[in-house]
Amino acid sequence: MQAGYAKAGIPAAKGYKKWAKRFSRVSYQSDTHGGRMVNNYSNSIGKKAYGKYEDLKKAPVGSVYIKDSFSVGKNGSLSAGPIFLMEKKPVGFDKANGDWRYYLIMPNGNLMGTTKGKNSAGVKFCADCHNAAAETDFLYFLPEEVRVSSK
């Protein structure tokens, strides 16, 4: 999956499993991401904030949160899904959406969209959904039973 995502040319999509902290002990189903199985990751800038989960107040500028995905077929076969990225930008980047930049990258590396970039309208649904979580800086958190301890 990583090799495909890397073809998009987005730095955070390249080798993220080597540098990112994984917050999900196991993959879990995310209804808000197409019912796919997902894993949650953070870069070093954002990991301390994300690890506070619902007690998070504000993620630092430069935080990158990644959710890779895959589907499981009826016969048990696996299919890579898109990768979803959120990047906290400086104040003023997109005030209405908490200054988050969203990316949606397909498994073959096609960039489906990015906030204020290619096909920005194609990732508007990301911001629309995350706007309901303004009290935790527009972030949702994985189910408690699959979380890595924040300690």
Query: Which tens digit of pLDDT belongs to each residue from 105-137?
Result: 999 999 999 999 999 999 999 999 999 999 999
Do 77 and 91 form a contact (C-beta atoms < 8 A)?
Answer: no
* Residue 146 in domain: no
Establish if 64 belongs to a structural domain.
yes
112 in any annotated domain: yes
Per-residue pLDDT at 122: 92
Question: How confident is the model over 31-85, as pLDDT tens digits?
Answer: 999 999 999 999 999 999 999 999 999 999 999 999 999 999 999 999 999 999 9
Residue 150 pLDDT > 90? no
Which CATH number fits the domain that encloses residue 33?
3.50.70
Residue 122 belongs to a domain: yes
Total domains present in the chain: 1
The tokens for 107 are: 């498994």
- When pLDDT is cut at 50, 70 and 90, the band that residue 26 belongs to is very high
Q: Is residue 25 part of a domain?
A: yes
Q: Is residue 149 part of a domain?
A: no
